[in-house]
Amino acid sequence: MISREALELRVKRRKLKNRIFHSVFFLSAFFGIAVLFVLLYDVVQMSMGWLNWNFISSFDSRKYEEAGMLAGIVGSLYLIGIAAPLSFILGVATAIYLEEYAKPNRLNWIIQANISNLAGIPSIVYGLLGLAIFVRYLGFDRSVLSGALTLTLLILPVIIVASQEAIKAVPNSLRSASFALGAGKWTTVFRIVIPSSLPGMLTGSILGVSRALGETAPIIIIGAVAYTAKLPTSIFDSFTAMPIQIYNWTGLPKEEFRHVASAGIVVLMFILLSINALAIIMRNKYSKKF
C-alpha cells in the first residue's frame, strides 16, 4: 500500500513536470511570435517615408524616388483571381472523388500517395513544369494565364489534402441518415458532405492562396518581367507580380531600394491579410450556418 507521503511526492512531481512543460511550450511560442514581431517591426520601420499613395499608384522606375508597385499589385491580383477559384473547384472535386467515389484499389492508392508528395515539391519544379506545358507546348507564351495555371498546379495539392481531411471529419451518421431518407449518393454529397466540410475546405484554400501570393520562383521561371510600365489588359498579356518586384529591388545596389522593398513587403502583407480575412469571414459564416 502506498503511503500518504509517497502519494504526495508523486503529485508534487507531476505538478512540477506540468509546470516545466507549460513553461517550455510557452517560451517556444513566445520566441516564435517575438521573432516575427521583430522582423515585422524592422520592415515597417524601414518602409516609413516610402509607403504612400504615389508608391501604390505608380509604375516601377530605375529611380528609387519614383519607384512604384502598381503593375505588381495588378499582376498579383490577376494571378490570384484566376488561380484561387480554379484551384478550389478542381481541388474540392478531386477530394470528393477520392473520398466519396474512388474504390480502395492500387491505382487510387498511387494517386493519393502522389498527391500527398506533390505538396512538398519545391516551387521551382512547378515553374519548370509550367514553362514546358503552358508556355511552350500550349503556346500561352509568358502571359498572365501561364502564371495563373502554374500557381494553380502549385496550390492544388494543398487544397486537395485539406479538403480530404475536412470530408473525413464529416460523421458517417449524417450520410447514413441521408441515405435512410431516400437520398442518392450525389444528393448526399451535395446537400450534406460539402456544406459540412466547407469550412475546412476554405481553410485549405487560405493556405494555398497565401503560398501562391508570395511565390517568386515559379513565375520567374515562366518569364514574368521584373520591370514593366504597363498593366495587363487581358490574360494573354505579359505581367509582373509583387514578389518579383520586391526581389528585384533587394538586388539593386542603392541602399534606398531596401526601403522601397520594405514598403513593397508591407503592401504585400496587407493584401495577403485582407484576402485571408475575407476567407476567414466566409469560413466562419458557413461554420455557423451548418
CATH number, domain at 225? Answer: 1.10.3720.10
For 213, counting Cβ atoms within 10 Å of its Cβ (0-12 exposed, 13-18 middle, 19+ buried), the class is buried
* 82 within a domain of the structure (yes/no): yes
* 248 within a domain of the structure (yes/no): yes
* 122 within a domain of the structure (yes/no): yes
pLDDT recorded at residue 91: 92
For residues 117 and 58, what is the distance between their CA atoms, to the nearest angstrom?
41
pLDDT recorded at residue 87: 92
Model confidence at 57, pLDDT cuts 50, 70, 90, reads confident
The predicted model scores a pTM of 0.84
* 131 within a domain of the structure (yes/no): yes
Please give the share of the chain, as a percent, with pLDDT higher than 90: 16
* 25 within a domain of the structure (yes/no): no
* 57 within a domain of the structure (yes/no): no
For residues 8 and 14, what is the distance between their CA atoms, to the nearest angstrom?
10
219-235 b/e (C-beta count within 10 Å ≥ 16 → b): bbbbbbbeebeeebeeb
Q: Which residue has the higher pLDDT, 290 or 85?
A: 85
Using the predicted structure, report yes or no on whether residue 287 has a pLDDT greater than 70: no
For residues 278 and 206, what is the distance between their CA atoms, to the nearest angstrom?
10
For 145, counting Cβ atoms within 10 Å of its Cβ (0-12 exposed, 13-18 middle, 19+ buried), the class is buried
Provide the domain count of the chain.
Answer: 1
For residues 188 and 175, the answer to whether their CB atoms sit within 8 Å is yes
Lowest mean pLDDT among 2-16, 81-95, 131-145: 2-16
* 285 within a domain of the structure (yes/no): yes
21-56: pLDDT as tens digits: 888 999 999 998 999 899 888 888 888 888 888 888
Find the domain containing 141 and state its range. 66-289
* 197 within a domain of the structure (yes/no): yes
Report DSSP letters for 219-274, one per residue.
HHHTT--S--SS---STTS----HHHHHHHHHTSSSTHHHHHHHHHHHHHHHHHHH
Neighbours of 142 (CB within 10 A): 18
190-229: pLDDT as tens digits: 888 888 888 888 888 888 888 888 888 888 888 788 788 8
